[in-house]
């Protein structure tokens, strides 16, 4: 009997790749052939291509924007080209199933999979589906969600709530290695600042304006995004990185508090590690408001504090982090009540069942 074969897709941001990274080791260990269809230069290529057991294929992709742009007239042709390329790739490698984590690169892959008669499974991390997943959902057999509320936006015969998929390696970091990697002594509580794989310019600006105040309270690990390093800032107790991959488990285990955007994958990882967090979601001016919903859900369950970007000033940030530190014991206690639903095992099981069909 020939090996089972799976195609994974998703990209644009690290959040659209992390669930794929979480399930790849299981499929490798079970002998599946694994292919990944992504964009030519997206972060998904940086994260996936170094894995020797995964064959990476790039296709043309376009972004469907919610605002007026001249690229809205040219990108549909890129999507059509991506559909043709995906159709060719899928016909050549003949996978048993496609699994999509979302992002615009996934749309042509899901359309081509339907054209080829290949069953597909989608995973949606946020409370409300993103535009790419909304477009791709009609072409999928199954749609899995992180939040139970998301099922209200999905066809009943397709949707299934499975919870958050967290990479297992994040649970096994080493605090001392993390401190050494960040060149920190660990004499003060460690604050990890993350704005997502692309960084968060406004958060970076306010943090750097208040560094003199913040390092009185914390040692700081600042993951500021590609091309966002400030080489003029050199302070003891403050370390910057553009992006961290392999060392992230160790840095997380060295962390006492988190300042972050509110992407679903990241905040559920912090929750699994019981890290008190201050969330600054993307504003509605810069997004469809999904991070605001994610953040408010965590605030309602007393897992996190929230500071709206419109209220983000230097003074507000310092005060909010002081409050987070003061109330950290209560937040950790609430986090203890969070029960994992073994989402990683569930998503793998559903993918295998879909492949059999």
3-state secondary structure the chain: CCCCEEEEECCCCHHHCHHHHHHHHHHHHCCCEEEEEECCCCHHHHHHCCCCCEEEEECCCCCCCCCCCCHHHHHHHHHHHHHHHHHHHHHHHCCCEEEECCCCCHHHHHHHHHHHCCCEEEEECCCCCCHHHHHHHHHCCEEEECCHHHHHHCCCCCEEECCCCCCHHHHHCCHHHHHHHCCCCCCCCEEEEECCCCCCHHHHHHHHHCHHHHHHHCEEEEECCCCCCCCCCCCCCEEEECCCCCCHHHHHHHCCEEEECCCHHHHHHHHHCCCCEEECCCCCCCCCCHHHHHHHHHHHCCCEEECCHHHCCHHHHHHHHHHHHHCHHHHHHHHHCCCCCCHHHHHHHHHHHHHHC
Residue 305 corresponds to which tokens in the numbers above? 């504090």
The answer to whether residues 185 and 268 belong to one domain is: yes
pLDDT at res. 155: 86
CATH at residue 129: 3.40.50.2000
One domain, residues 154 and 303: no
8 A C-beta contact, residue 167 and residue 21? yes
Of 273, 119, 252, residue with least CA distance to 194: 252
Same domain, 160 and 309: no
The number of folded domains in the chain is 2
Residue 71 has what pLDDT? Answer: 64
pLDDT, tens digit only, all 357 positions of the chain: 468 999 999 998 888 899 999 999 999 999 999 999 999 989 999 999 999 999 999 999 876 655 555 666 677 889 899 999 999 999 999 999 999 998 899 999 999 999 999 999 999 988 888 888 889 999 999 999 998 889 998 988 999 999 899 888 998 999 999 999 999 998 999 999 998 655 588 999 999 999 999 999 999 999 998 889 998 888 999 999 998 989 999 999 999 999 999 988 899 999 999 999 999 998 877 667 889 999 999 999 999 999 999 999 999 999 999 999 999 999 999 999 887 668 899 999 999 999 987
Q: Tell me, yes or no, whether 55 and 188 share the same domain.
A: no
On whether both 177 and 145 belong to a single domain, the answer is no
Sheet harboring 190-194: ordered strands across? Answer: 238-241, 219-223, 190-194, 257-260, 277-279, 304-306
Q: Looking at the structure, do residues 270 and 162 belong to the same domain, yes or no?
A: no
Rg (CA), the chain: 20
Structure-token pair, residue 65: 């924007």
Shared domain for 24 and 97, answered yes or no, is yes
> Do residues 17 and 48 make contact, with C-beta atoms less than 8 angstroms apart?
yes
122 and 14 housed in the same domain:
yes
Query: Around Cβ 311, how many Cβ atoms within 10 Å?
Result: 11
Examine the domain organization and report whether 212 and 140 are in the same domain.
no
What pLDDT digit, counting tens, does each position of 289-333 carry? 889 999 999 999 999 999 999 999 999 999 999 999 999 999 999
> Tens digits of per-residue pLDDT, 5-53?
999 999 988 888 999 999 999 999 999 999 999 999 899 999 999 999 9
Contact 103, 10 (CB under 8 A): yes
- Contact between 104 and 76 (Cβ < 8 Å): no
Q: In whole angstroms, what is the distance from residue 40 CA to residue 51 CA?
A: 16
On whether both 104 and 241 belong to a single domain, the answer is no
Which domain range does residue 214 map to? 170-336
State the pTM of this model.
0.84
CA distance 45 to 38: 7
- Residue 190 and residue 81 in one domain: no
Distance from the Cα of residue 308 to its chain's centroid: 20
Q: Are 239 and 220 in contact (CB under 8 A)?
A: yes
Q: Are residues 330 and 266 in the same domain?
A: yes
∠ CA 41-47-53, rounded to 5°: 110
What is residue 1's predicted lDDT score, i.e. its pLDDT?
45
């Amino acid at each position: 009997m020939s090996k089972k074969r799976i195609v994974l897709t998703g990209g644009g941001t690290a959040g659209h790749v992390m669930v794929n990274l979480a399930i790849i080791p299981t499929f490798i260990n079970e002998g599946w052939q694994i292919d990944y269809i992504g964009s030519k230069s997206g972060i998904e290529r940086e994260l996936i291509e170094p894995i020797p057991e995964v064959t990476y294929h790039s296709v043309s992709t376009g972004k469907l924007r919610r605002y007026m742009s001249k690229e809205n007239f040219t990108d549909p042709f890129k999507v059509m080209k991506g559909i043709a390329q995906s159709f060719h790739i899928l016909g050549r490698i003949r996978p048993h199933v496609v699994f999509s984590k979302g992002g615009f690169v996934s749309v042509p892959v899901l359309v081509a999979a339907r054209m080829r008669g290949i069953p597909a499974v989608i995973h949606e991390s946020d409370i409300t589906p993103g535009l790419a997943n909304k477009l791709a959902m009609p072409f999928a057999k199954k749609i899995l969600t992180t939040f139970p509320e998301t099922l209200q936006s999905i066809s009943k015969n397709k949707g299934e709530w499975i919870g958050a998929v967290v990479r297992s390696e994040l649970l096994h970091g080493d605090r001392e290695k993390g401190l050494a990697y960040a060149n920190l002594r660990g004499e003060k509580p460690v604050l990890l600042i993350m704005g997502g794989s692309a960084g968060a310019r406004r958060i970076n600006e306010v943090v750097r304006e208040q560094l003199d105040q913040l390092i009185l309270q914390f040692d700081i690990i600042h993951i500021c995004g590609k091309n966002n390093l400030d080489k003029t800032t050199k302070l003891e107790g403050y370390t910057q990185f553009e992006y961290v991959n392999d060392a992230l488990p160790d840095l997380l285990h060295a962390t006492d508090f988190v300042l972050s955007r509110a992407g679903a994958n990241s905040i559920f990882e912090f929750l699994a590690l019981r890290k008190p967090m201050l969330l600054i979601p993307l504003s509605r001016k810069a997004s469809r408001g999904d991070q605001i919903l994610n953040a408010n859900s965590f605030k309602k369950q007393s897992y996190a504090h929230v500071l709206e970007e419109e209220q983000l000033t230097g003074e507000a940030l310092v005060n909010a982090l002081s409050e987070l530190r003061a109330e950290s014991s209560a937040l950790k206690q609430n986090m203890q009540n969070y029960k994992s639903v073994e989402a990683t095992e569930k998503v793998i099981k559903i993918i295998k069942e879909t492949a059999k069909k």
